A and B are shown apart, each in its own frame.
Chain A
Amino acid sequence: MRKLMKLFLVLALLSFSVAGLAADQQELTGAGATFPYPLYSKMFDVYSKEYGVKVNYQAIGSGGGIRQLINKTVDFGGSDAIVGEEEAKSAGAQVLHIPTCAGAVVVTYNLLGSPDIRLTPELIADVFLGKIKKWDDPRIAAANPGIKLAALPITVVHRSDGSGTTNIFSDYLSKVSKEWKEKVGAGTALNWPVGLGAKGNPGVAGLVKQTPGSFGYVELIYALQNKMPYALLRNRSGNFVRPTLGSTSTAMNVTLPPDMKVSLTDTDAPDGYPIAGLTWILVYKEQAYQGRSEAKARELVRLLKWMTHEGQKYCEPMQYAPLSKKATERAEALIGSITYNGKGIMK
């Protein structure tokens, strides 16, 4: 009797797998950045309803996305960080960086009354270096003459996981502060001098929301969704800019290289927001690896085309900057270069 039951169970599992295998063609797996996760979440939901293809994206951080792509455990990675040299070597094959949108990394905080704070690049670097420890520090007051700041200790909040958001943020800090560049540097996982760590953009938002006097960085949409205040930053031209859709798009108006591996931080544009960044979908250029089917590769290409064209209309409602015309052209070229066994896939 028990033997029969065991047999039945094994058969049931097998049949599930077979049924799943049939549906296998229509499922793509991706992992990576939390930066664009709200947008992707919406995009993939719409895509599955329109085309019947399920896209499973887990927001484990850009570092995770890159790692899983290198391990070939996912179909595509999501990252706001460009794949570094050592990682590119581990990948063994060329990885394309296909931009999907741009976002703004905002400095968010938890203060009574949620006032609009203005910050200079030096101030931000010094807080994250641990040199400014309290909110009523004269340097912060100097930049914010009208605001009464309490003698609250500043609790720095940063990412505990490998993050493209961190990458964009630290890339900016490395450009504006020599001390930061020497002491900490830029990257997805840093040796933070001070502060608490939280997982993902949602984690940082959650922790800042709960901790009075906290000071952290998140992608714009997370601050908006949680009704958290964010600071106006002084950009290179000396203007204090509010992070908005407009100022982020303006930051994208720089020369875009064909491989789209470009940083948008500390932009020249006078009205551009200084901490903006592109986010990319990472795929292998040559899709015939590890027994992948051509059908799968075609599904992937179709998804990428949709995300960079029809899907773009979901960017603005979520405060992500859609790709500029030039950026879309670049993206198309990149998608067009994806091959299967050397043959181009996109028609």
Chain B
Amino acid sequence: MKTKGRDLRRRMFFDRLFKGSVIVLSSVCMLPMFFILFFIMKNGISVINWEFLTALPKPMGEAGGGISNALAGTLILILIACLISVPLGVFAGIYLSEYRKVRFTYFSRLSLEVLQGIPSIVIGIIAYVWIVVPMGAFSALSGGIALGIMMLPVIVMSTEETLKLIPDSLKEASLALGVPYPRTILKVILPAGLSGIVTGIIIGIARIGGETAPLLFTAFGSPFMGLNIFKPVSALPLVVFNYATSPYPEWHALAWGASFVLIAFILFLNMLAKLVTRRWKVQF
């Protein structure tokens, strides 16, 4: 009896120790995130002012300047990426969900998963070889295309997931009523899954908004405000990279400010995605 009691106490001890360790280790995981966010907010918020958001960067070593061209550049890149990846991605998602029994679909899906795993710098090289060299110039277009390729798998997979959740009865009801197949898909099924698709787009944007590597040799960066997609363009993550690795404290401050804007943007998108899911999701 006594041995059993001691045995039990030992096991209980390890049980509690284990639970404690799990909680402690998990909490330690949370620390870096709070650290990073805290420092970005502390250092970044003092830099944000009207000039910062609307002015162009100043020459090297001079104080002041802003990131207005980086903001515009990031928006343009996201726009181009969406234009490329959303139509293609949604249709690919429709394909995967409609033809899921077909053998070939397996390879399609596999390709997408491999695409998703490709390091962003390799995609940057591809965009350089496919677009920058033939065009003879760095451009927002090439950067947008690189980002679009990265965003594609996200859109496809979220579209497929969303469409899988829609019961077949809806499609069958539509077809039974005589609605042609294309219309059924585009005007009945897609709208039903709109929340999931939009969420996927938002998540995709959040993922590519902060990407730097693919832009290094495509969008190239620019100290000027550029709205021409065939020319180089600045972007928020490029600004962070260039200013952070410089030795000037004024530029470090700008980097903190740009980081703050970037993180705020991504956080906003994440919250938006959650909101869209909650409000628009059609329950079946």
A202 touches B248 (CB 8 A): yes
A286 to chain B, nearest CB (A): 16
Q: CB-CB contacts of A1-44 with B at 8 A, as 1s and 0s?
A: 00000100110010011011101100101010000011001101
Asked if A203 lies at the interface with its beta carbon under 8 angstroms from chain B, I say yes
Q: Bound complex: CA of A72 vs CA of B229, how far in Å?
A: 18
Asked if A73 lies at the interface with its beta carbon under 8 angstroms from chain B, I say yes
Asked if A90 lies at the interface with its beta carbon under 8 angstroms from chain B, I say no
B224 touches A20 (CB 8 A): no
Given contacts A13-B79, A16-B229, contact A71 B247 (CB under 8 A): no
Q: How many residues of A contact B (CB 8 A)?
A: 41
Instruction: Pick the contact of A16: B133, B227, B246 (CB < 8 A).
Output: B227
A67 to chain B, nearest CB (A): 10
- Chain A residues 115-133 with CB under 8 Å of chain B are none
Given contacts A9-B79, A13-B79, A73-B138, contact A206 B246 (CB under 8 A): yes
A72 touches B136 (CB 8 A): yes
Chain B: interface secondary structure?
loop
Asked if B24 lies at the interface with its beta carbon under 8 angstroms from chain A, I say no
Asked if B157 lies at the interface with its beta carbon under 8 angstroms from chain A, I say no
B61 touches A54 (CB 8 A): no
A/B pair count, beta carbons within 8 Å: 94
Asked if A330 lies at the interface with its beta carbon under 8 angstroms from chain B, I say no
Q: CB-CB contacts of A197-232 with B at 8 A, as 1s and 0s?
A: 011101101100100000000000010011000000
Asked if A174 lies at the interface with its beta carbon under 8 angstroms from chain B, I say no
Instruction: Pick the contact of A56: B79, B136, B232 (CB < 8 A).
Output: B232
Asked if B282 lies at the interface with its beta carbon under 8 angstroms from chain A, I say no
A13 touches B136 (CB 8 A): no
Q: How many residues of B contact A (CB 8 A)?
A: 30
A45 to chain B, nearest CB (A): 5
Chain B contacts for A10, CB-based, 8 A: 83
Asked if B223 lies at the interface with its beta carbon under 8 angstroms from chain A, I say yes
Asked if B220 lies at the interface with its beta carbon under 8 angstroms from chain A, I say yes
Chain A contacts for B248, CB-based, 8 A: 202, 225-226
Q: List 16 A-B contacts (CB under 8 A).
A: A6-B87, A9-B79, A16-B76, A17-B228, A17-B230, A20-B230, A21-B228, A56-B224, A56-B232, A58-B221, A71-B133, A73-B136, A198-B245, A200-B245, A203-B246, A206-B247
Chain A residues with CB under 8 Å of chain B are 6, 9-10, 13, 16-17, 19-21, 23-24, 27, 29, 31, 37-38, 41-42, 44-45, 48, 54, 56-58, 71-74, 198-200, 202-203, 205-206, 209, 222, 225-226, 290
A-B pairs, 7 with minimum CB distance: A20-B228, A206-B247, A41-B59, A205-B247, A202-B246, A16-B227, A41-B60
Chain B residues with CB under 8 Å of chain A are 58-61, 76, 79-80, 83, 87, 132-133, 136-138, 220-224, 226-232, 245-248
